[in-house]
Amino acid sequence: MSQLQPFPDPTQRMLAALLDLAAFARGGEAAEEIMATGEILPRIWDLTTIADPDLRWDCWVWLDAFVVWLNSQHAWYSADHTPACWPEHPPLIRELGTLAALRFQAGEATSPMPLEEWHRYALPGYLDRTRDQRRACDEKHQPWPGRAAHTRHTNDDAVSRRLRLFRVDGDLTSDDGEETVTLRAL
């Protein structure tokens, strides 16, 4: 078995989603037809944009294959490995989706420059931005350390307090009863 492994292929559904995005980006009649449906086009790099469960499954499986490929082809040191628990970490999911899509596009290019840029910017950027997240789960999966702070931020009292401050800041009615928005310093 060769040490060099090919980049994982996206599925036909994923390729169709990418073609729809390309048609939309080009504009013209195809873009107008897409706009007329009101549909939000799925972006395979952002799972939150994918409503079709089959396409979403395809993307999860592709991302998993990408992580295996990434760890075997680009992680010389264990500190560079993406941990097996990556699907439990939303920041890693988002980073990996983007990294995989960029690598796919670079691999489809007709010149080596996009792949050079992926190696020079995207991959090192991913490794730098996610170093602490990846290292935390090196030996054993670690739950999200920011959960307590997030829970405090999203509890009912904190949300109500922020909404009150927003209302204080925006005067939504003028003296004559018309709706306006005036910002005031707190």
Average pLDDT over residues 130-151: 84
* Percent of the chain whose predicted confidence (pLDDT) is above 90: 57
> Model-level pTM?
0.80
Q: What is the DSSP letter of 43?
A: B
- Please state which of the ranges 109-123, 147-161, 170-184 shows the lowest mean pLDDT: 170-184
Average pLDDT over residues 177-186: 48
Cα of first residue to Cα of last residue in the chain, in angstroms, is 66
Write down the pLDDT at residue 185.
46
Assess contact for 87 and 77: CB atoms under 8 A.
Answer: no
Higher pLDDT, 60 or 40: 60
Write down the pLDDT at residue 130.
93
Q: What are phi and psi of 43, to 5 degrees?
A: -115, 115
pLDDT at residue 62 is higher than 50: yes
Radius of gyration of the chain (CA): 22
Assess contact for 100 and 112: CB atoms under 8 A.
Answer: no
pLDDT at residue 93 is higher than 90: yes
